[in-house]
A = this chain, B = another copy of it.
Amino acid sequence: MTPTLTSREATGERREERILRAALTEFGRRGFAAAREGMIARLAGVSTATLKQHFPTKEALFREMVRSMVVRTLHQVEPDAAAGLAAESAVRRLREFARWFWQTMDEPEYAALLRLSMVELTRFPELAVFHATEVTGRALRQLERTLADGVAQGEFRIGNTRAAARVILAALITHAHWFAHPEIFSGITGVDRAAAEESVMRVLVEGLRGR
């Protein structure tokens, strides 16, 4: 009754998907140059020749992988993030956003994409633009909306919501990086993942002047 998994279309899809996922793993681990197509093929459970039939060059594979993975992995999650929160206090929504953002960036796949978007930026500028648009841009817009709501509700007093959104996102991004590598940074920043949401938000909301 279950449709055969080996039907042409089904396997085809499955295969490309598996290959792209494997590519993300290997590229994420090693970066573009050091990644080996042979390893990607093995991770995907196909021969190298099959891999090359679907993605003729290493570069094509990388491009496709970023394109599809950014779409596949990020879009399905983000819209939910602020769902049902429109009526909430803006501070609460910011907190939720931070929590969602850090949680998301904790997934190996997202982390790998983030890392690659920085690492291979010089070699693949249009992909960097794509990633920046899809991820940074969306996050900024989301944040700005929340801030504007907060201003409208009298919760915040900020002239430049865009600049504020940038500062928030910037702080979150670097923290995500620190969290992703506690073995490197926890000793230096003394950052406490658990308390971070609270403390970062307090600083951002109150500012250095306090109250």
Count A-side interface residues using an 8 Å CB cutoff: 62
User: What does DSSP make chain A's interface, helix, strand, loop or mixed?
Assistant: helix
Known: A29-B122, A34-B34, A132-B185. 18 other contacts (CB 8 A): A30-B33, A33-B33, A119-B119, A125-B183, A128-B181, A132-B188, A133-B188, A136-B185, A136-B189, A157-B209, A157-B210, A158-B203, A158-B210, A160-B202, A167-B171, A170-B170, A170-B171, A173-B174
User: Who on chain B is nearest to A166 by CB?
Assistant: B189
A-B CB contact pairs (8 Å), 27 listed: A31-B31, A34-B34, A91-B208, A115-B119, A118-B118, A125-B184, A132-B184, A133-B188, A136-B188, A137-B188, A140-B188, A156-B209, A156-B210, A157-B208, A157-B209, A160-B202, A164-B208, A170-B170, A170-B171, A170-B174, A171-B174, A174-B174, A203-B207, A204-B208, A205-B209, A206-B209, A207-B208
A145 at the interface (CB under 8 A from B): no
Complex Cα distance A113/B200, Å?
A: 27
Q: How far is the CA of A190 from the CA of B208 in the complex (A)?
A: 25
Q: Which residue of B lies closest to A34 (CB)?
A: B33
User: Using a CB-CB cutoff of 8 Å, which residues 101-133 of chain A contact chain B?
Assistant: 115, 118-119, 121-122, 125, 128-129, 132-133
Q: Does residue A82 face the partner (Cβ distance < 8 Å to B)?
A: no
* A163 located at the interface, meaning its Cβ lies under 8 Å from any Cβ of chain B in the complex: yes
Please state if B208 and A163 are interface contacts (CB–CB under 8 Å).
no
